[in-house]
Structure 1
Amino acid sequence: MDWWLVTFFIGAIFSLILPIEPALFYVGLLILCFLLAYINQSTRRYSALLLGCAWVLFIASQYQQIWSTNQLNSSMLAYQEVLVHGEVNTIPACEAQRCRFNFIAHQLNSQVLKQPISIRLSWDSPTQQLQQGQHWQFFVKFKPAHGLANEGGFSYQTWLRRYNIHATGYVRKNKKHQLISNVINHRQQQFSTFKAVLPSHNLSAIIQALTFGERSSLNKDHWQILQHTQIQHLIAISGLHIGIVGGFSYFLILAIIRAFPLHKLMSRFTYSNQQTAVTLGKLLNRNIRIFALLFSAGCAGYYAYLAGFSVPTLRALVMIYLFLFFRLMAINISVLSWLALSLFIIVLLMPMSLISMSFWLSIYAVVCIFFIIWRFNKLFSYHQKEKDTLFAYLFKKCRQLLYLQVMLTLLMLPLATLLSGQVSFVAVLANLVAVPLVSIIILPLSIFALLISTISTVLAIFVIDIVLVILSWLWQYLTFLAELPWAVVNLSHTHWCFIFIAVVCIIFSFVITPKQRKWMALPLILIVANISVLGFKSKSEWTVKVMDVGHGLAVIVEKNQRILLYDTGASYPSGFSMAESVLLPYFQENGVQQLDWLIISHDDNDHAGGFIELHEQLLISNLMTNDKAINASHRCIAGNSYQWQQLTLDIVSPGEIKGADNDDSCVVRISDQHNSVLLTGDISQKVEKLLVSKLQANSKDITDSYLASKVLVAPHHGSKTSSSTAFIKAIAPDYAVFSAGFLNHWRMPANTVVERYQKLNVNVLNTADSGMITFQMRSKGIEVSRYRFDDWPYWFAN
C-alpha cells in the first residue's frame, strides 16, 4: 500500500514537466491506461503513476476551461467594462486608500455563471468599507490570469493558479457600485474586533500576521529583516503554528481536567454504590486524553479558519488530523506510512500544492526532522530515571529540542538560500532565539488576546502590550543581526551547483559508511567540470535580453558578465516597480552589482520609472540620459559613438536635447562585426522619416547603413504611429520585438503594424506572449529563446 501511495505522488510530480495541458481526451486515456495497469497483477504496483499524473492534469484542465464552461471569451472581456455580482472572499488588504481582495463572481453582465470565477481585484479610494462575506455588484475591468515571465523573477501566474484565481482586474472609479448584502462572516468580525484593540505600533503587523495570516501591513523594512535572518517562516501560518496551537490546547485542557478529581465528585452523588463511582471516575481519568485530543483538533481547525484556510494551514490540518485519527483508533502505523498517506490526501484535495514552494519546504522540514532523529537516535532517546528530578527531565528535553532546532536550521538553510538568493550567516543565531520565543510566548499570548478581545477589551490590550514588549526585544535583536556587515551574502545562479554539491556531500557524510566515502569524489568531479564549462565560454559572444515588463521597456545587453541596461520599466503609485520585481531579481541571480552603462531613452514612466531604485541599489559607471534633472555622465546626441568590450554603441537620434517627448527618445545601435541590435524607445514615424531621409541623402547602401540591424526592438511598443514601411526596410531586421503588456488597453502592438513586419519577412516576437526574449549573438548567427516556451516551458507557469 505504501508503495502504491508513493507512486501516486511521483506520478503527480511527473505531470508538472509537460509544456502544455493536454486535452481531456488524453487525460481520459491516462485513466484508461491506469485501469488496465491496475487489473494486470504484474503492473499494479506502478499503476498509480498514471493515476497521479491524470488527477493533476484533470484539475489543471478544469481551471483552464472555466471560460469555455461559462461560454465566455476572456480576450474580448479584457477590453470591456463588465458588471459583476458576487462575494468578497478574503479580508481586504487596504493601504493608502487602495484595497486588494479576492472576489467570487456568480454573475457577469446579468449572466448567471455555471461555475463561479475567482477574480483578484483592486479598488482605489473605495466608497464604502469592504469586508469579507459582503455581496457586491461592481463595474470592473479584468484580464485572464497572467504574469510576467523573467529569469529570476516571481511567477505571479503560478501564484494565481495555485490559489485558483482565474482573473485579475480593478474596480472602476466614478461608477455606482451597489452593496447587495452586508452580512459579514465570523472571521471578518473577529479580525475587525481584534484590529480595533491593536495599538498603532510598528510591530502590530507581526501580531496580525501571526493571528490571521494577514501580512499586507508588513512593510519593506519588516521583510528585509525577516529575510536577512531567515525567520520569515515564523509569520507564515503553517504546520508549525497549527502544531503549536494544537499542542498548547491539548496540554491546557488536560491540565484543567486533571485538576478536578472526577472519581471523588462522582462518589458524592452515588452513595449507594461507592465502588461503581470510583470505577467510573478512574475510567474517565484514563480516557480524558481522548477528549483532550478532540479538543486540540478543534482548536487547530478554528485557528486554521481564522487564517483563512490558506493552503499551508489545510496541508498541516490533513497531516495532524490523520495522526490524531490513528491515535484515537489505536492503529499502529509507521512514520513512512503516515507521511505517504498524508501526501496522497494532500494531492487528492489540493493538487496545486505541488507548484507551491511552501509545500516542498514543509515536506522537506518533516523529512529533515525524522532524518535527524533517526541519524542521532542516541542523542534523542532519553528514558527518565527514578532519581531524575523534574528539573533534570525538563533540562534534558530542552537540550534535545535545542539540538533538533540547530540541526534543522542548518539543513533548511540551503533550500531557504535557494528561494531567497541569499545565504544568511546569522540564520542559526536568529532562529535559536526567535523560534522558541515565538512558539512558547508570543504566539500563544497573541491568540489569547484575540480570544478575549470580544469579552474584555482592557484585558486584551494588556496582553497585547506584553506581547509588544517581548516582540520589541526580539526585533531589536533581529535588527542587530540583520545589520551586521557579514550577515547576508547574495548568490548568483553560478553558485547553485556548488551549493547543491556541498549539501550532497554533507548528507553523504551523515549516511554512508567510511568505505563508501570514495563516491564523494563524484561531486568534486562535477565542481571541476562546472568550473571548466564557465571558463571555456567564448568571450566574443554577447546577449540581448528584452525583459518582460508589461507595457514598458527594459533591455539588458550582457557580455563577459558585464551589463548595459537600456530603460528601466515602470513604477506605480502602489509602490510596485519593474526594477524591484524584474530587474533587481535578475541582477541578483546573476551576481550583478554594477552596471557599466544605464541608458534612459526618455523620461516617460514606462521607460524611466525604475531609475531611482536602480540608482540606490547598484553602482552605475556610465549614465546616459537627456533628462536635465539628472546629473548624467553622458548625453544622448546623434553622431556620438562609444566602445564597450569590443562592441560599438552608435547614437542615432536625437540630434539635440529638446525635452521629454517620445520623439526625443535616445535611439542606440549596438553592434559587433557580425550582429547588431537597434533600440528605438518611443519614436514615431516623424523621426523614422527623418532618419530614413538622412540615410537617403547620404546616398548610402540601405542594406549597409547605420540603421541596418538584425534585431529591432520595435518603436513605441508597436503603436500605429510608428514602424513605417520605409523605416523597417532601412533596418532590414531578421527579428522585431514588441515590448507590450498582456491585453493592454492600447491594443499594442497594432494588428496593422504586425502585418507590416510580417509582409517584409520579419520574425515577430512579443514579450506579452513569450516572456523574456533572449538573443544569443554569435559569429555563426543568432540563437533566440523565449522564456515561456524554451527556458521555463511548463503548463502551470504559462
Structure 2
Amino acid sequence: MMVGRGSGLTPPRATLTLLAGVLAVQWLPRLWPVWLSLGLMLLAGLLALLAGPRSWWPACAVASICWAACWGQAGMDARWPRAWEGRDVWMRGQIIDLPQVQPGATRFLMDVHSLRGQPPWHGRVRVSWYRAPPLQPCQHWRLQLRLRRPRGLINPGTADSERSALEHGLHAVGYVRDPGMARRQGRSVCIDGLRARLAEGIAGQLPGRHAAALLRAFAVGDIRGLSEADWSVARANGIPHLIAISGFHVGMAGWLGAMLLQGLYRCFPGWGLRWPRPLATQTAMLVFAAAYCALAGFGIPCVRTLLMMAAAMLFRSLRRATRPATGLLLALAAVLLVDPPASLGAGFWLSFVGVGLLMYGLQENGHGLMAQVKEMTRGQWLMTASMLPLTLWFFGEASWVGAVSNLLAVPLISFVVVPLVLLSLPLLWLGTSAALILLWPAALVTDGLWWLLQWLGRWPGAHWHPPVPDLAALGLGTLGVVWLWLPRGLPLRWAGMLLLAPLLWPPVGRPAPGGFRIWALDVGQGLAVLVETRHHLMAYDAGARYPSGYDLGAAVVVPAIHASGAAPLDLLIISHGDNDHAGGAVAVAQAFPAARRLSGEPARMRYASRSCHAGQNWRWDGVMFRVLAPADDGQLAGRVHAGNARSCVVQITGSGGGLLLTGDVGRAQELALAGALRAQPAMLLQVPHHGSRSASGPALLDALRPGLAWVSAGWRNPFGHPHPSVIARYRQRGIQVWNTAETGALQFDVPPEGGLRPPLSWRQRQRRYWRE
C-alpha cells in the first residue's frame, strides 16, 4: 500500500480507506469476475505511479475495493458446483478442528479433494456422519459423500449462515452416504491433534465436573462441552468473549513466556552476553503468544493481539516510539489484507472496535490501588455501552447486568483461572497427574464464579431483546457512544444519549386496527407462522427439533418474535404433534410461559396444552379468529397418534382480507372445510401439507379462491415438496404461490382497507453476493 507525506495518504488514512473499500464490497448484491478485479488493481497501480502522489488516495480506494471483491468472488467460485448437488462422490480428506459428537451423529470439518474420475475440486467441507466410529483430528479418510452448497435459513433476527460460510471458508456441507465403505488412511501431525489431547487431559483430570468444560474452552478454545444453557448464562452476563480464548488471554500467555525467560536469565546470567535480555524477552513473549494463538485456532481476537504485539516489538527494535493505536491500525490493515471476508464476522468488529474504544475512552487517573479500581470500573461501563450497538446488530440482544458481571468475571478469569490453566498445559502434554494441582483451584474458582453468574443471569434486564435496529439506528448509536466518551470538560457530552434513542427504542410499525401482519418463517421442511395484530401476537407451529439438539423454536421462532417488536407472545397454537410442526414448541413455550397454548393433539405435546377444536373463536383488535377443525366429535380426539387429520385449522378475518392456516390437513379434511368456508377478497392460504400431492384439492381451492398462497418447505427436500402437479393446480386458478425454500421468510401485510400485495421476501430484502 502506497503511503507518503506528500500524498496526504498517511498510514491511518490508508488503513481506514482499506476498511471502507472492504466494507463497501460486502453490501453488493453480486460481484464481478476475479480477472476484472486483478486488472483494475493493476491499472490503479500504474496510474498512481504515472500521476504522482496526488492519485495515491483514489488508487488505494480502488485497490481496496477490487481486493475485497477478488477475495469474495474467489470464495464463491470455490463452492461445490451446483450441477453436482445431490450426487454421491468419493473424496479423500483430513479432519481438521475438533469433531462434535452429537446424539446419533458426529459433525466435523474436513479439507477434502476429489478422487480420480470425479469433478476436480478441493475445499473445506462440514460433514455429518451418522453412527460414526470414534473420530480424531488429523485423521485421513476416504469417504463417499453427498454434498451441497452452504445454504441456510433466512429469517428476521437470526444469524446468516451463508455469510458465516464465506467468512470461515466453508465451501460445502454434506453427509457420509455409505459408512460401511469408509476407509481410514492414516493420521498426520497437526495442531488440532494437540488441542484434542489437551482437552481430553483436562476432562480426565476433572471427571464429571462442569468446570472441566469451561476450562477446556479457556485453555484451547474447545467449546464442545458447553450446553445451550451455558451460553444463555454467558449472554445474560455479557461474557461470551471470555468463554472462548480472548485477546487478553493471548497477552497473558505472552507475559508468562516473558516471565519464564526472565527466570532463566537469572539462573544463567551469562546468556545476556550472547543475546540481549530485552530482545530475548520480547521474542519469548511473541513466541508464546503465537503458540497459544495456534491452540485457539487463530481467531480474530487472538490474531489482533498477536499482530499488535508484533508491531510493538518491531517499533521497539527499530528504536521508534509508537502508540498502542498505531499497533491496532497495523493489525487491522494486516487482517483486511490477508483475509477481507473476516470483516463479515461479529468477532472482527467486537475485537477491533472494543479495543479501539477502550483506547479512546480510558484516561490516566493517577496511581494507586483505588485509582486502578476506579479506572477498571469505568472501563467495564465503557465496554458495556460501547458494545451495545454491535451486540444488538449481530446478536439481537444485550445484557444490562454485563457491566457488573464483567467486573467480577474479568479479573477472576484473566488473572486467576487462565494463568493456572496455561501453566497446566505442559503437564497435560506430558501426561502427568501433577496438572491437577493447578487445575483443581482453577475449577474451584470457576464453579463459584459460574454459580454467581447464574444468579446474576436471573436479574431483570439480563436478557434484553429490543426490535432489530436498522442501519441508520446503528450508525447513530455508534456516533452516540463516541460522543459520550469525548474528553472530559467538553460541553454537551450528555447529548450522546439522544443519539442512542433510535437504537434503544426503535420505531415499530404495528398493523392498524382491523388489519394484521403474517410472518411465514423459513424453517426448512416444517412450519412456523407468526400473526400480529395491533396489540397481540400469535404463533402457529414452531418448526422441528432434531436429534442433534438443533431446535428451530429456539434458533428461529423466538428470535423472530423478538425481532418483530411484537413480543410478548399471547397465544401458541401447534397444529398437530409431528416433529416438523411441534418440535420447537417447548423452546417457544419456555421463552413465553404466559402465552396460552392450544394444540390439535394435546396428548402428544411435551407441555400442558388445551385441545384445539372447531367452534373456538376470539377477536383481537378488530380481527376475527375462528378454529374450523378438527371437529370435537371424539372420533379422532381419543387417538394418540391421529397425526395430520387432527391438524388445527384457523381462519383469520380482518377488515381487508383473510388467512387460512391449514397445518397438514389432507383431502378428506379439505372436503369438510370446503363447506364451512366462504370466499373472501384478498384471501391468503398456507398451502396444506407443504404442497404434498395428498392435499390442495380442487374443492378447497374453489371454495376459498385465495389470491396468494405460500409453501413452507425445505430446500431440495427428499419428499419433493411442493409437487409440480400441486403448483400447476394453483397456477391454473391464477393463484400466486411463494416458497420459503426459495425466498426465505415472507412478510405479508393485510391492511384494513384491503388491497393485498405480494409479500416481502427476506432473502431478496437484503441481497448480498454470498447468498445462494
Q: By the TM > 0.5 criterion, same fold?
A: yes
Q: Distance in 1 between matches of 2:576 and 2:559?
A: 24
Q: Distance in 2 between matches of 1:625 and 1:505?
A: 47
CA contact (8 A) 1:598 1:620 kept: no
- Cα 1:173/1:681, change in 2 over 3 Å: farther
1:198 is aligned to 2:205: yes
Letter in 1 for 2:666: S
CA contact (8 A) 2:514 2:621 kept: no
Task: Look up the match of 1:45.
Answer: 57
1:262 is aligned to 2:270: yes
Deviations 1:705-740 (A, max 9, x none): 347753221111122333345543443333221111
- Cα 1:406/1:675, change in 2 over 3 Å: closer
Letter in 2 for 1:101: F
TM-score (norm 2): 0.88
- Equivalent positions of 1:671-690 (< 5 A) are 671-690=653-672
1:650: how far off? 3.3
Deviations 1:237-295 (A, max 9, x none): 232221221122123312431343328xxxxxxxxxxxxxxxxx6x557x211111112
1:635 is aligned to 2:612: yes
Deviations 1:321-342 (A, max 9, x none): 2332332333444545433332
- Cα 1:164/1:632, change in 2 over 3 Å: same
- Equivalent positions of 1:221-260 (< 5 A) are 221-260=229-268
- Equivalent positions of 1:436-475 (< 5 A) are 436-455=411-430, 457-475=432-450
- Cα 1:751/1:40, change in 2 over 3 Å: farther
Q: 1:7 aligns with which of 4, 17, 24?
A: 17
Task: Look up the match of 1:274.
Answer: none
Q: Distance in 2 between matches of 1:561 and 1:234?
A: 39
CA contact (8 A) 1:598 1:622 kept: yes
Letter in 2 for 1:678: L
Deviations 1:310-354 (A, max 9, x none): 444334333332332332333444545433332222111111111
Q: Distance in 2 between matches of 1:645 and 1:445?
A: 60
1:647 is aligned to 2:652: no
Q: Distance in 2 between matches of 1:525 and 1:231?
A: 26
1:558: how far off? 0.5
- Equivalent positions of 1:117-156 (< 5 A) are 117-127=123-133, 129-156=134-161
- Cα 1:458/1:54, change in 2 over 3 Å: same
Letter in 2 for 1:320: M
- Cα 1:13/1:37, change in 2 over 3 Å: farther
Q: Equivalent residue of 1:169, what SS?
A: strand
- Cα 1:237/1:464, change in 2 over 3 Å: same
1:713 is aligned to 2:686: yes
Q: Distance in 2 between matches of 1:92 and 1:782?
A: 49
Q: Distance in 2 between matches of 1:594 and 1:337?
A: 47
Q: Distance in 2 between matches of 1:202 and 1:233?
A: 19
Q: 1:218 aligns with which of 209, 226, 232?
A: 226
Task: Look up the match of 1:63.
Answer: 75
Q: Distance in 2 between matches of 1:370 and 1:530?
A: 25
Q: Is the deviation greater in 308-317 or in 145-154? A: 308-317
CA contact (8 A) 1:684 1:721 kept: yes
- Cα 1:368/1:652, change in 2 over 3 Å: same
Letter in 1 for 2:734: N
- Cα 1:23/1:783, change in 2 over 3 Å: farther
Task: Look up the match of 1:275.
Answer: none
- Cα 1:789/1:177, change in 2 over 3 Å: closer
- Cα 1:620/1:49, change in 2 over 3 Å: same
Gaps of 5+ in 2: 4-10
1:339 is aligned to 2:328: yes
- Cα 1:240/1:641, change in 2 over 3 Å: same
Q: Distance in 1 between matches of 2:396 and 2:506?
A: 24
1:213: how far off? 0.7
Q: Distance in 2 between matches of 1:495 and 1:19?
A: 18
Task: Look up the match of 1:269.
Answer: none
Letter in 2 for 1:362: S
CA contact (8 A) 2:513 2:622 kept: no
Q: Equivalent residue of 2:423, what SS?
A: helix
Q: Equivalent residue of 2:527, what SS?
A: coil
1:757 is aligned to 2:730: yes
1:12: how far off? 0.6
Task: Look up the match of 2:341.
Answer: 352
Letter in 1 for 2:347: S
1:688: how far off? 3.4
Letter in 1 for 2:646: D
1:616: how far off? 2.3
Q: Distance in 2 between matches of 1:144 and 1:496?
A: 29
- Cα 1:455/1:641, change in 2 over 3 Å: closer
1:13: how far off? 0.7
Letter in 2 for 1:368: L
CA contact (8 A) 2:526 2:543 kept: yes
- Cα 1:113/1:349, change in 2 over 3 Å: farther
1:372 is aligned to 2:355: no
- Cα 1:23/1:749, change in 2 over 3 Å: farther
CA contact (8 A) 2:469 2:506 kept: no
- Cα 1:226/1:165, change in 2 over 3 Å: same
Letter in 2 for 1:479: Q
- Equivalent positions of 1:398-797 (< 5 A) are 404-405=379-380, 407-413=382-388, 415-416=390-391, 419-455=394-430, 457-485=432-460, 487-493=462-468, 504-505=479-480, 507-511=482-486, 517=492, 524=498, 538-590=512-564, 593-629=567-603, 632-637=609-614, 641-655=617-631, 656=633, 658=636, 659=639, 660-692=642-674, 694=675, 705-706=678-679, 710-725=683-698, 727-778=700-751, 779-797=753-771
Task: Look up the match of 1:278.
Answer: none
Gaps of 5+ in 1: 264-280, 383-391, 696-703
Deviations 1:178-213 (A, max 9, x none): 111134535414522551433221110011111111
Task: Look up the match of 1:34.
Answer: 44
Q: 1:99 aligns with which of 101, 106, 110?
A: 106
Q: Distance in 2 between matches of 1:327 and 1:343?
A: 19
- Cα 1:319/1:780, change in 2 over 3 Å: farther
State percent identity of aligned pairs: 25
Q: Is the deviation greater in 45-54 or in 681-690? A: 681-690
Task: Look up the match of 1:18.
Answer: 28
TM-score (norm 1): 0.85
Letter in 2 for 1:17: W
- Cα 1:503/1:183, change in 2 over 3 Å: closer
CA contact (8 A) 1:646 1:672 kept: yes
Letter in 2 for 1:233: H
CA RMSD of aligned residues (A): 3.4
- Cα 1:432/1:530, change in 2 over 3 Å: closer
1:77 is aligned to 2:112: no
Deviations 1:475-530 (A, max 9, x none): 2332332234565544344799989867755642442787863x976974995999
Q: Distance in 2 between matches of 1:176 and 1:531?
A: 57
Letter in 2 for 1:675: G
CA contact (8 A) 1:773 1:784 kept: no
CA contact (8 A) 1:8 1:344 kept: yes
Q: Distance in 2 between matches of 1:578 and 1:405?
A: 34
Q: Distance in 1 between matches of 2:353 and 2:473?
A: 20
Q: Equivalent residue of 1:574, what SS?
A: coil
CA contact (8 A) 1:86 1:137 kept: yes
Q: Distance in 2 between matches of 1:330 and 1:159?
A: 41
Larger radius of gyration, structure 1 or 2?
1
